[in-house]
Amino acid sequence: MPESDKRHKSDKEERFPVWVKKSVLEYEQELKKLQIELLKLQNHVKDKGLKVLVIFEGRDAAGKGGTIKRITEHLNPRGARIVALDKPSDVEKTQWYFQRYVTHLPSAGEIVFFDRSWYNRAGVEPVMGFCTKAEHKEFLDHVAEFERMLVNSGIILFKFYFSVSKKEQAKRFKERKTDPLKQFKLSPVDASSQELWDQYTQAKYEMLRASHTGIAPWVIVRSDNKKKARLNCIKHILTSIEYPTKNPPDLTTSKKIMVWGGEEINLLETALSKKQK
């Protein structure tokens, strides 16, 4: 190629740079490093025969699915599963409530991610009238004991509740309606989520009070900023399990993003008491 043509090609390439925000580049770089660490963790889980269960709960459009996607993106699918169950069948409705979830619990060497879980009975079901008050109470009375049995059987249990603000949730619902690639996420329940905001808040409070325990604690993830929520969630997992050749970037989580369940209970008690006055 003549030198002039090379120079012309070089000039042309320089005229059309791909502009990406610095914050986006930094996020992608940090995410990649964390995903490499997740692979190391997965290898350790397989080698040691560990059983890891990660539960993702939260309001609609809180960012649960996006976080699960980034966590599992490069994991070996033979040792990692995502469980996102549909509404119970007629047969399942006649069974012990926890039964359909038990069949999906991790075996030795597995990491299982629940995109919503048995906590449907503490959130959407009582708020939307999909269960009776007695069934709701029965669940709250026994869920802590159920999880104690899981942990005592050797399951390493993580419980994340993604907390999105009412304003941000409304914004994301609007995006789902207008973006063809996101419309599959829309559900009939979404339409009432904003109207029933206070009822969901009350249900969340009752759920945390009944199920935030020392053996199976909740971690609240402030998720108005999706990218920060994802990174902090991954960091929490990586810092909670020791594995060989751990060589992570800074794994310090933000106290503005990650909140322990006990602190959230106190915040909710204050907020709910103000509403009652």
Domain ranges of the chain: 50-276
For range 135-149, the mean pLDDT: 99
* pTM score, whole prediction: 0.90
Name the H helices within 55-161. 64-72, 99-102, 124-128, 133-152
Q: DSSP label at 241?
A: S
Cβ-count burial of 235 within 10 angstroms (0-12 exposed, 13-18 middle, 19+ buried)?
buried
- pLDDT of 17 higher than 60: no
Q: What CATH number belongs to 50-276?
A: 3.40.50.300
Per-residue pLDDT of 92-106, as tens digits, reads: 999 999 999 999 999
Structure confidence at residue 250 (pLDDT): 82
Structure confidence at residue 22 (pLDDT): 87
Structure confidence at residue 16 (pLDDT): 46
Band (pLDDT 50/70/90 cuts) for residue 20 is confident
Structure confidence at residue 70 (pLDDT): 99
Structure confidence at residue 10 (pLDDT): 47
- pLDDT of 185 higher than 80: no
Per-residue pLDDT of 222-276, as tens digits, reads: 999 999 999 999 999 999 999 999 987 789 999 999 999 999 999 999 999 988 8
The residue whose two tokens read 């990586």 is 238
Top-confidence residue, 197 or 181: 197
